[in-house]
């Protein structure tokens, strides 16, 4: 049984981790921390978890108790994992970080986007980017895993087959992406209030979103060079979901795009390439660790449109984190993650 610790278990990604791990046959949550909620039982804060974590209570983060775990998940704001990750790694505990702290390999670039100096640049060389469809072998032997963000997961999975095959012009990529409000986190913010976000659609961070350098980093690896990416995120009035509409110029009109995508993801348990002509819906992945993809070439022209949908809290965060844990410990990748999406 894998002994699990969770740092920062009161946010949406934290409770999603708890929900998924409650149905995992080989993992047990032994420690969950929150400075503000220390002493509160998990089942009292989250009634949906009654009967699963009735004796588990939040505690103040402590490196000794966390270091006794086999793996520790950080479901925290950026900057928090910097302080504790090194101590846990020194104790032999493996770390899976859901924040952005170790996603970017360049500490100076991280500082520019997050407005503070990187707190653990010495750990960056050993951080493995936890996108299983790309880095599965590195994940198997990793000590520190950086779980990809939600927008980067859907966008990279959508673009990768075209870029890896050298078919798309890497200098002219566009990602038009929509997110549910849960992507903004659980903390109270005016823009996330029902009356503010409901019955409205709004683009934001057009000049540059923090996920832009993460996406660009992954796409550069795929092409082995620089990329030109325009990334525009939008807030939509739904709770969960990411919908990425991706545009790429593919001059070769003879290539079978459907076959290309089906072959690339043939052995991937959590990527579903839908039949030609499909239009995946965010509700089709709600609560599931799945990315559904459809590829189109409108009017048979040079512009290819890829549609990719995920649940931002599952394949875009906690589900992908559990998928990484399964790979890390040599388990069936699907353990704890095989439930179908919820409808309606």
Q: Which of 90, 49, 50, 48 is nearest to 67 (CA)?
A: 90
**Per-position DSSP letters for 82-97, written without gaps between them:** HHHHHHHHHTT-EEEE
Tell me the backbone φ, ψ of residue 115, rounded to 5 degrees: 70, 20
Q: How far is CA 60 from each of CA 7, 31, 307, rounded to the nearest angstrom?
A: 9, 10, 42
Cβ–Cβ under 8 Å, residues 178 and 341 = no
Q: Tell me how far apart the alpha carbons of residues 233 and 220 are, in angstroms, rounded to a whole number.
A: 20
Distance of CA 151 to the CA centre of its chain: 8
Query: Is 150 noted as a catalytic residue in this protein?
Result: yes
Q: Tell me how far apart the alpha carbons of residues 242 and 258 are, in angstroms, rounded to a whole number.
A: 22
Cβ–Cβ under 8 Å, residues 118 and 85 = no
Computed on alpha carbons and rounded to an integer, the radius of gyration of the chain in Å comes to 20
Q: Which two tokens stand for residue 281?
A: 């819906």
Distance of CA 318 to the CA centre of its chain: 7
**263 membership: H or E segment, kind and range:** helix 257-264
Long-range contacts of 109-114 (CB under 8 A, 24+ apart): 109/213, 113/208, 113/210, 113/213, 114/78, 114/79, 114/210
Task: Point out the catalytic residue in the list 69, 150, 177, 291.
Answer: 150
Q: Which two tokens stand for residue 278?
A: 């499909």
DSSP state of 57: B
Q: Which of 148, 169, 157 is nearest to 295 (CA)?
A: 157
Cβ contacts of residue 64 below 8 Å, gap of 6+?
none
Residues designated catalytic: 150
């Amino acid at each position: 049984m894998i002994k699990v610790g969770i740092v920062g278990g009161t946010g949406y990604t934290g409770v999603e981790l708890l929900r998924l791990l409650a149905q995992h046959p080989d993992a047990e949550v032994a420690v969950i921390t929150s400075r503000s909620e220390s002493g509160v039982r998990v089942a009292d804060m989250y009634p949906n978890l009654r009967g699963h974590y009735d004796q588990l209570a939040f505690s103040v983060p402590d490196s000794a108790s966390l270091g006794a775990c086999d793996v520790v998940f950080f479901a925290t704001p950026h900057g928090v994992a910097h302080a504790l990750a090194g101590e846990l790694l020194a104790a032999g505990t493996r770390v899976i970080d859901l924040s952005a702290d170790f996603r970017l390999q360049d500490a100076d670039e991280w500082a520019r986007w997050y407005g503070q100096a990187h707190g653990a640049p010495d750990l960056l060389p050993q951080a493995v980017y936890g996108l299983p469809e790309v880095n599965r072998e590195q994940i198997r032997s990793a000590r520190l895993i950086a779980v990809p963000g939600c927008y980067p997961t859907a966008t990279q999975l959508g673009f990768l087959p075209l870029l890896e095959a050298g078919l798309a012009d890497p200098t002219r990529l566009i990602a038009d992406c929509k997110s549910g409000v849960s992507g903004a986190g659980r903390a109270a913010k005016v823009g996330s209030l029902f009356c503010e976000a409901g019955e409205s659609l709004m683009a934001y961070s057009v000049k540059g979103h923090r996920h832009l350098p993460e996406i660009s980093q992954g796409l550069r690896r795929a092409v082995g060079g620089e990329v030109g990416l325009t990334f525009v995120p939008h807030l939509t009035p739904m709770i969960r979901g990411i919908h990425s509409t991706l545009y790429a110029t593919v001059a070769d009109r003879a290539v079978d795009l459907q076959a290309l995508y089906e072959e690339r993801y043939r052995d991937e348990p959590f990527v579903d390439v839908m039949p030609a002509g499909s239009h995946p819906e965010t509700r089709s992945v709600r609560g599931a660790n799945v990315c559904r993809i459809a590829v189109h070439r409108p009017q048979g022209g040079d512009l290819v449109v890829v549609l990719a949908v995920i649940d931002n809290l599952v394949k875009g965060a906690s589900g992908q984190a559990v998928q990484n844990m399964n790979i890390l410990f040599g388990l069936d990748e699907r353990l704890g993650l095989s439930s179908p999406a919820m409808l309606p």
